[in-house]
Amino acid sequence: MRNGKQIRGAQYADIAIALVLLAVGVGFTIVAYDHGLGSVRRIGAGAMPFLIGCALCLCSLICLVGALRNRIEVDVSPPFPVALVLIAVVAWALLVEPFGLVPATIVLMLIGTFAYGPIRWISTSIVIAAMCVGCVALFIYGFRLPFTIFGG
């Protein structure tokens, strides 16, 4: 990282991510179990989310053990870029319904770009346009999700 500091010890970012994913996995399994697992012959609505939650728990535990065993020097990211990425995701979630998929994606990409550093407007514009086209093709035409392209 450009502005990050070096610290010695466990990989704190890996530990934090593993704990968050473990919490998400446990949440998935609890909610899925309430929907019913069904039987071997007739799978219930909660069977697949339950298995996905269990797999997520297992993977996060493996990552957690690996992060706790490794002792290396780690870059500590400055908090401002990390906060900008989180703000970008929240902004997308708040803007996608009232304004549509394309404007929300543009805002997401612009805020995320400011987290990266100096902006090259031509290449950024090309990436944003490609991302908007890809999102519309994938989510609206591919997955048929009920998003509007422009405006709600």
In a domain, 74, yes or no: no
In a domain, 151, yes or no: no
Residues 89 and 121 in one domain: yes
**How does 92-129 read in b/e, with b if 16+ C-beta sit within 10 Å?**
beebbeebbbbbbbbbbbebbbebeeeeeeeeeeeebe
In a domain, 23, yes or no: yes
In a domain, 126, yes or no: yes
Calculate the CA dihedral of residues 2, 108, 86, 116 and round it to 10 degrees. Answer: 0
Residues 56 and 34 in one domain: yes
Residues 11 and 64 in one domain: yes
| 105-146 pLDDT, tens digit each | 999 999 999 887 788 899 999 999 999 999 999 988 988 888
Residues 91 and 114 in one domain: yes
Residues 34 and 15 in one domain: yes
**How does 5-30 read in b/e, with b if 16+ C-beta sit within 10 Å?**
eeeeeebeebeeebeebbeebeebbe
**How many structural domains are present in the chain?**
2
What count of other Cβ atoms lies within 10 Å of the Cβ of residue 55? 13
For the ranges 8-12, 93-97, 144-148, the lowest mean pLDDT is seen at 8-12
| 53-69 pLDDT, tens digit each | 899 999 899 888 887 77
Domain final position from 44, 69, 94: 69
Range of the domain at 108: 79-141
Residues 64 and 121 in one domain: no
